[in-house]
Amino acid sequence: MSEPWTLKGEMALSCNCAVFCPCVLSLGQHPPTEGYCQTWAAVRIDAGRFGDVDLANLKFAFMADIPGRLVRGNWTAALFIDEKASVYAVKALTSIFTGRAGGSTALLKILVGSFLGVQQVPIAYAVEGETRIVKIDKIIDGALTPIKGKNQSGNVVIRNSEYWIAPDVTVARAERSRFRAFGRNWDLAGRSAEICQLDWGNQ
C-alpha cells in the first residue's frame, strides 16, 4: 500500500487542441481536435506531503504525447521535477505522477504506456496579472492567459465537472507555448490551455 499523500496547488496546462479542448468535458472519450494530443503542464505545489516527505513549495512539470483518444491510453510521458527537490521528494513525485501512489493520479498507471523518465531542472512558475508564465530552460517556454467571458471582469470557467484534474477549469489560451525535449519540438501558441486548482490525494 502506498504512503498517504496530499497535494494542493495549481496546474497550468497547454495542449494542441483548438480552444477549447473537448477532452475535458468528455473525460477523454472525444478525440482531441487534431486527432492526437500533444501537451505539457506545470504544477506549483502550495502544500503537500507523501508520508513524511514535505512537498510544499516545489514545482514539477510533465509532457504527454497521446496518439488518439485519451481514454485509449498508449501515452508517452516524461516528468520534470524542481531542482530543489530532495531525493525523497523526487521519488514521491515520481510515484504520484506514474500512478503508483494511487488516488487522484491512479489512472496514469494504466494510460501511460511509455515513461521516458525524470529530469531534475530549474522550474519557474509565475503569475503576471492573470497570465501563468512557465519556464524550463531550453525545454518549456509558456504564457497561458484566461479567456474573458461576456462580463469582461470574469473569466470563462467550467464548474463542477468530473474532470480528473479538477472539477473547476479556467479556460485559457496559450499566448506562447514551446516544448522541446525527447525528440519533440512543439509550438502550441494560440491553442487551448487550462488553469486548475489542485486538491489531490489518496485518502
Query: Does any domain span residue 131?
Result: yes
Strands (E), the chain: 5-15, 37-50, 53-54, 59-66, 75-82, 112-121, 124-128, 131-136, 140-146, 157-158, 169-181, 184-187, 192-201
Query: Does any domain span residue 202?
Result: no
Query: Does any domain span residue 203?
Result: no
pTM > 0.85? yes
Query: Does any domain span residue 137?
Result: yes
Query: Does any domain span residue 45?
Result: yes
Domain holding 51, by residue range, is: 5-197
Give the count of domains, the chain: 1
Which positions of the chain have pLDDT values less than 70?
1
CA distances from 128 to 36, 60, 133, 134, 145 (A): 31, 19, 7, 11, 9
pLDDT in tens, 37-93: 999 999 999 999 999 999 999 999 999 999 999 999 999 999 999 999 999 999 999
